[in-house]
Structure 1
Amino acid sequence: MTQKTVLNDMHRRLGAKMVDFGGWDMPLHYGSQIEEHHAVRRDCGMFDVSHMCAVDLAGTDARKFLLRLIANNVDKLRERGKALYSAMLNESGGVIDDLIVYFIADGQYRLVINAGTAEKDLAWMAARLAEWQLDATIAPRRDLAMIAVQGPNAKTKVWQALPETRTASEPLKPFYAVTVGDYFIATTGYTGESGFEITLPAHLAETVWQKLLEAGIRPIGLGARDTLRLEAGMNLYGQDMDETVSPLDAGLAWTIDLEAPRDFVGKTALLANPPSKQFLGLLLLDKGVLRAHQKVITANGDGEITSGTFSPTLQQSIALARLPLATAIGETVQVEIRDKSLTAKVVKPCFVRNGKALV
């Protein structure tokens, strides 16, 4: 049965084209995906991300549990509200999910996991908690909704709509969060722009969404969300990595702490299997559109595109790809698209940030 977020009726009243997204009925766009993309880059827009699952972890052994569960090191979280991006791995080093961990207080954390993997993730975490016999509780918070507001004017317009949040949220540095009354406001996002991700009780979501609309914030669908995240070089679970892919081959080495003496699930496999590919960006020099699973031919062997699209900001096709280790930034490669071989340039896997082209 298809699931719906608490804002589903609102999307339909706004004329959204709805699609199935991993079992959730979600807005693809509200009329023009391109206009929505540009709105986020040039002004701001808001996304219903209530399908994502917030999970509260609490208990004496909560930190000890996370130290063993995820590949990044939660000992980095010493300031309240600080966030950490990481991967949760299986024993063979594949990615079960990528997630964000927020440090709320001693013995108290909030995780945000992907919608399509939520049940799998929760089962995995429960099994590890029981196996390790640690004192902690795992509580999925389906009573909460999430609204992401992103873009150069996002914060100003959020404060216009929710003035009571400004004092506490204005000092936040990137990748931090603060609780303001009913709101959990974080400076995390998935677009390469500044803004907030606001977690709030589900029963308040429609009221807050309406306030944000009245402040001039445009609703944005999944279509623009994907082109924005790809321009920003951000991975999508299920496309750029999954349980069969090492994070070392998926551009996620920066989220892995192999130096600390602690052990974590998948560490042994990662140490035994160094990277076999590089995760790089492609900028298409010929006419065409890059898509996932297209073959990439380089001077050092073949690779594969994991995510590709037409970039509205750059007005060129771009992609993320796993390529041979010897591939260098700046070299040209060939991409097989149907019966044609098109030329692309290898670039760093981040194309646009804060409205500026980086390639």
Structure 2
Amino acid sequence: MSQKTPLYDQHVAAGARMVDFAGWAMPLHYGSQLAEHERVRTGCGLFDVSHMLVTDLPAAARGMLRTLLANDVAKLDERPGHALYSCLLNPQGGVIDDLIVYHREEGGYRIVSNAATRETVAEQLSVAAARAGIACQVRDDLALIAVQGPQAVGLLERCYGDAAAPLLALKPFGCHQLGALFCGRTGYTGEDGFEIALPAEQASELWQRLQELGAAPCGLGARDSLRLEAGLNLNGNEMDETISPLEAGLGWTVAWEPSERDFTGRAALEQQRAQGLACRLVGLVLDGRAPARAGYLVQTEAGDGVVTSGGYAPTLGGPIALARIPRQADEETCQVVIRGRPVSARIVRPPFVRHGRVRV
């Protein structure tokens, strides 16, 4: 039986089409995925992301996190109120999960990770914390609401008045505690916005208030088409426990220095880097109207590749995809086999869309 977020009743009352996602009952859409997608690109959309895992760790977890994560939380030492994006790896260098680590202004760390890897990540963090003799608190008492779109800033200003000033001043990947609300200038849409953690019992009131001010509730469908246009990886598609961050286009999230920091998976990544990568992650803009789906064959002059994510891009008005192709493939076009028929595609560098503008 699917678990329910604190906003479940709000979704049902609004007529959302509910689906099971990673063991959670979540809204797929509220009538029109395309309209929700467009609302985020041009206005402001709301996403219930309370199914994600929120874990709080004390400041003493710094050393533990430097060993666990491929990125280095030491970058945040002089930057309380900021966050970084990182991958949690297995010893073979594969990606267990990608997550955000916030260095809270009042001290300590808050980690937000994905729903599909919830149990695995919770166990990894709790075991490591127990070995280090520090506390590890899973925050199931919190709800998470993502407020995304070019009008997100103005909407929060209208919602909170002068008290919102510290939130509006945040730069990307900044964070601030505003009373009971913990706000990060983060998101998964390619647009400006915030992700807000707050007590579960206060979630419905904020959800309703934001709608009254002009935000539109959005479901998983729009969330996926938005992140695909933004060229953002999806765990389980662009990376998994057999794919390294180097192969997933996330080499920039690996902190190689200082060289003595021996994080989990480092030896495997160093070997892979020394040998050279066999593949690379690219974007594809397909001819015609037929969408490519994960698992479809990609044909290049240097050999075959595979679509990792694909679908219709409302902002571009056609199908796009992310794909893993041979590193040596240097041509500008390829073929995607859709229902047994090769379809021409242009190889591009993501993102396809960022801040409402087509980039390819």
Same fold (TM over 0.5): yes
Say if 2:279 and 2:326, in contact at 8 Å, map to a contact too.
yes
Say if 1:22 and 1:115, in contact at 8 Å, map to a contact too.
yes
Q: Distance in 1 between matches of 2:30 and 2:318?
A: 23
Cα-to-partner distance string for 1:323-349 (whole Å, 9 max, x where unaligned): 111233x70001111120000000002
The 5-angstrom pairing of residues 297-336 of structure 1 reads 297-328=299-330, 331-336=332-337
Say if 1:59 and 1:136, in contact at 8 Å, map to a contact too.
no
Q: Distance in 2 between matches of 1:105 and 1:156?
A: 24
Give the deviation of 1:127 after TM superposition.
2.5
Q: Distance in 2 between matches of 1:168 and 1:288?
A: 46
Say if 2:288 and 2:318, in contact at 8 Å, map to a contact too.
no
Q: Distance in 2 between matches of 1:165 and 1:211?
A: 16
Tell me what 1:10 maps to. Answer: 10
SS in 2 for 1:342: strand
Give the deviation of 1:259 after TM superposition.
3.1
Q: Distance in 1 between matches of 2:301 and 2:159?
A: 54
Q: Distance in 1 between matches of 2:107 and 2:222?
A: 37
SS in 2 for 1:273: helix
Q: Which runs of 4+ in 1 moved over 3 A?
A: none
Tell me what 1:171 maps to. Answer: 169
Q: Distance in 2 between matches of 1:105 and 1:35?
A: 37
Identity %: 50
Deviates more, 1:224-233 or 1:267-276: 267-276
Give the deviation of 1:162 after TM superposition.
2.7
Cα-to-partner distance string for 1:229-257 (whole Å, 9 max, x where unaligned): 00000011111111111111111111111
Q: Distance in 1 between matches of 2:263 and 2:234?
A: 23
SS in 1 for 2:132: coil
Cα-to-partner distance string for 1:247-273 (whole Å, 9 max, x where unaligned): 111111111112322110000111112
SS in 2 for 1:260: coil
Q: Distance in 2 between matches of 1:337 and 1:4?
A: 36
Say if 2:299 and 2:336, in contact at 8 Å, map to a contact too.
yes
Q: Distance in 2 between matches of 1:209 and 1:273?
A: 46
Distance 1:140 1:163, change over 3 A: same
Tell me what 1:189 maps to. Answer: 187
Q: Distance in 2 between matches of 1:24 and 1:185?
A: 23
Cα-to-partner distance string for 1:122-168 (whole Å, 9 max, x where unaligned): 112223334xx424221110000011011111110122123254121
Say if 1:63 and 1:107, in contact at 8 Å, map to a contact too.
no
Give the deviation of 1:106 after TM superposition.
7.7
The 5-angstrom pairing of residues 1-359 of structure 1 reads 1-60=1-60, 62-77=61-76, 78-105=78-105, 108-130=108-130, 133-163=131-161, 165-261=163-259, 262-274=261-273, 275-328=277-330, 331-359=332-360
Structure 2 regions of 5+ residues with no counterpart? none
Q: Distance in 1 between matches of 2:249 and 2:126?
A: 28
Deviates more, 1:335-344 or 1:154-163: 154-163
Cα-to-partner distance string for 1:188-209 (whole Å, 9 max, x where unaligned): 0000000111110001000101
Number of matched pairs: 355
SS in 2 for 1:188: coil
SS in 2 for 1:102: strand
SS in 1 for 2:19: strand
Q: Distance in 1 between matches of 2:107 and 2:87?
A: 21
Distance 1:96 1:165, change over 3 A: farther
Q: Distance in 1 between matches of 2:179 and 2:308?
A: 41
Give the deviation of 1:286 after TM superposition.
3.1
Structure 1 regions of 5+ residues with no counterpart? none
SS in 1 for 2:319: strand
If the length of structure 2 is used for normalisation, what is the TM-score?
A: 0.96
SS in 2 for 1:174: coil
Say if 2:59 and 2:109, in contact at 8 Å, map to a contact too.
no
Q: Distance in 1 between matches of 2:50 and 2:107?
A: 25
Give the deviation of 1:310 after TM superposition.
0.5
SS in 2 for 1:248: coil
AA partner of residue 315 (structure 1): G
Question: What is the RMSD of the two structures over their aligned residues, measured on CA atoms?
Answer: 1.3
